[in-house]
């Protein structure tokens, strides 16, 4: 496999009970340093695809290659793979009984075996980057939604991931808090972080994405540049979708 490809899926399928086909033969390649945005109507398979990449959803059939390894093989240690994939959800998933600093240093100390001093140095540096250094000793309940989501993102960065997966990271936020989270994601993209982002934020997709994937009924219908997507959409279902949200 090309060393430049970080994730490749082949004929990826996912079915749920009742004959629901959430993914239908999804074939993709994600290159290192790429920002790929996935859009589509509700129920199109976007989040199922994203969650399949680190086996939070177990595919029914197909292959997922991460850095050359087929992670669906039985001998693969998926927990080691997940350490290299940062994942940010709609909900922030912070531990409510821990300070922000403890939330950020727990995994690096436990999984990467970093010393407390090294883990805290990294965490404080990231908090400083996002303007939340003064919240290190606060608890999640003391933060706004936008602050919690920025913490969730930099908590993932504490693990030095090779790729970041974002599952509608702004959908649970009040509108005035969306911008601060998108600004952080833009700065990560600018720094060369490989990112796959399921989102309805079309401005972000237009400005930051290298590629946009449009999913519908569990399949990839369009995979192209932002320019072709927004300025010359040819697929009728994509045209309909864009007209409904723009």
Average pLDDT over the chain, rounded to an integer: 93
Query: Over 80: is that where the pLDDT of 36 sits?
Result: yes
Tell me, what's the pLDDT at 95?
94
Output the pTM of the full model.
0.94
Tell me, what's the pLDDT at 137?
97
Q: Of the ranges 43-52, 151-160, 168-177, which one carries the lowest mean pLDDT score?
A: 168-177
Q: If you average pLDDT over residues 158-185, what whole number do you get?
A: 92
Q: d(Cα 135, Cα 86) in Å, to the nearest integer?
A: 22
Tell me, what's the pLDDT at 1?
59
215 burial level (CB within 10 Å; 0-12, 13-18, 19+): buried
Report the chain's C-alpha Rg in angstroms. Answer: 18
What are residue 219's DSSP bridge partners?
216
Q: d(Cα 127, Cα 136) in Å, to the nearest integer?
A: 7
Tell me, what's the pLDDT at 172?
85
Q: If you average pLDDT over residues 113-127, what whole number do you get?
A: 96
Q: What is the pLDDT of residues 70-105, one digit of tens each?
A: 999 999 999 999 999 999 988 888 999 999 999 999
Angle ∠(179,183,184) on CA atoms, nearest 5:
125
């Amino acid at each position: 496999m090309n060393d430049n490809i970080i994730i490749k899926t082949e004929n990826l399928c996912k079915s749920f009970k009742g004959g629901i086909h959430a993914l239908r033969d999804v074939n993709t390649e994600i290159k290192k340093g790429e920002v790929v945005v996935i859009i589509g109507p509700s129920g199109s398979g976007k989040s199922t695809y994203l969650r399949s990449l680190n086996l939070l959803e177990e595919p029914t059939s197909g292959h997922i290659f991460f850095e050359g390894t087929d992670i669906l093989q039985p001998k693969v240690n998926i927990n080691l793979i997940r350490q290299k994939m940062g994942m940010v959800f709609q909900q922030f998933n912070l531990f409510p009984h821990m300070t922000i600093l403890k939330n950020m240093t727990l995994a690096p100390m436990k999984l990467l075996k970093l010393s407390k001093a090294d883990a805290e140095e990294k965490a404080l540096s990231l908090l400083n980057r996002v303007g939340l250094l003064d919240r290190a000793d606060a608890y999640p309940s003391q933060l706004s939604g936008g602050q919690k989501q920025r913490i969730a993102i930099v908590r993932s960065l504490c693990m030095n991931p090779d790729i970041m997966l974002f599952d509608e990271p702004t959908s649970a936020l009040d509108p005035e808090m969306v911008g601060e989270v998108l600004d952080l994601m833009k700065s990560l993209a600018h720094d060369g972080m490989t990112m796959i982002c399921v989102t309805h934020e079309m401005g972000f997709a237009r400005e930051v994405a290298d590629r946009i994937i449009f999913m519908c009924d569990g399949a990839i219908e369009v995979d192209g540049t932002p320019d072709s997507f927004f300025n010359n959409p040819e697929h009728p279902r994509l045209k309909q979708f864009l007209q409904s949200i723009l």
